[in-house]
Amino acid sequence: FAGGSVQLRTRGLPDGFQAEVSVSTGATLGTTFAKGLRGPAGATDFLGVDGGERTLPGAVRRASDGQPLLERDMFSDRGYTAAELEALGEAMANRWTTRRARLWPDVGLGATVGHRFTLGKVPVGFRASLGYDQDWSRRQRTATYYLLGEGGALEPSHAYDFDETTRTITLAGMLTVGIDFSADHRLRLTTLVDRIT
C-alpha cells in the first residue's frame, strides 16, 4: 500500500482569444487490428454511456427493488416461487453471445476554447476544455490448476484459456470562469468532470 496526494493547479485565464484542437491515435501489438471478443453493444457505447439496451425489464426491476431475488421455501413466505423466478429470467433479453470483431486503433480527441475580455474596467474570462479517449486492450492467458496426486506429485487438474478484451472510454470536461479585480485579487470558479467507463 502506498499513499500520496495530488495537487491540481488549473491554468489561469487566457490573455485573449484562444482555441486548440488535438487528435491522437495509438496502436498496441497483439490488440490493434486483431479480432477480439465483443459483447452485445448499444448505439451510444462509443461514449461510454448505455443507451437503454441494458436496462432491466420492468418486472425484474420491481421484483428486485430493495430485496434480493430469493426462492421461497417452506419456512418463510418471503421470496418468489420457482415459476415466478423462471418468468423473471425469461423476461431478460437473450443477448449473451460474444462475437469476434476487429479492434480498431486507440483514438483521442481534445478541444479547448477560451477568451478574455473587459466588463466595464474589470477583466473577465473563461476557458473550456473537452476530451475524449477510446482505448482497447486484449489479454490472452492460460490458467492451469493442479492437485496433489499419488506419491505427493502435482498433477494437472483443470486448464482454462482466457481471452479478455477491454474497451475504456474516457470523457473529460473542464470549465474555468474568472474575474481579475486586481493583480492580487482574483476570483475563479473551476468545474471538472471526468468519466471513465
Q: Which of 12, 5, 6, 3 is nearest to 187 (CA)?
A: 12
Position 1 confidence tier, pLDDT thresholds 50, 70, 90: low
Burial call 63-76: b when 16+ CB within 10 Å, e when fewer: beeeeeeeeeeeee
Average pLDDT on 137-156 reads 91
What's the longest Cα–Cα distance across the chain? 91
User: Distance between alpha carbon 159 and the CA centroid of its chain, in Å?
Assistant: 31
Among 11-15, 36-40, 111-115, the range scoring the smallest mean pLDDT is 11-15
Contact criterion met (CB below 8 Å) for 166 and 192:
no
pLDDT (0 to 100) of residue 152: 86
Whether 161 contacts 142, CB under 8 Å: yes
Which position has the grid cell 484562444? Answer: 18
Lowest mean pLDDT among 67-71, 133-137, 192-196: 67-71
Is 80 exceeded by the pLDDT of residue 90?
A: yes
Per-residue pLDDT at 182:
82
Identify the three-state secondary structure at position 62.
Answer: helix
Candidates 130, 112, 135, 110; CA nearest to 172 is: 130
Assess contact for 136 and 31: CB atoms under 8 A: yes
Q: What is the pLDDT of residue 9?
A: 72
pLDDT exceeds 80 at position 150: yes
Q: Which of 6-10, 60-64, 180-184 has the lowest mean pLDDT?
A: 6-10
Place of cell 462509443: 46
Three-state secondary structure call for residue 101: strand
pLDDT level of residue 121 (50, 70, 90 thresholds)? confident
Q: What angle do CA 75, 81, 83 make, to 5 degrees?
A: 155
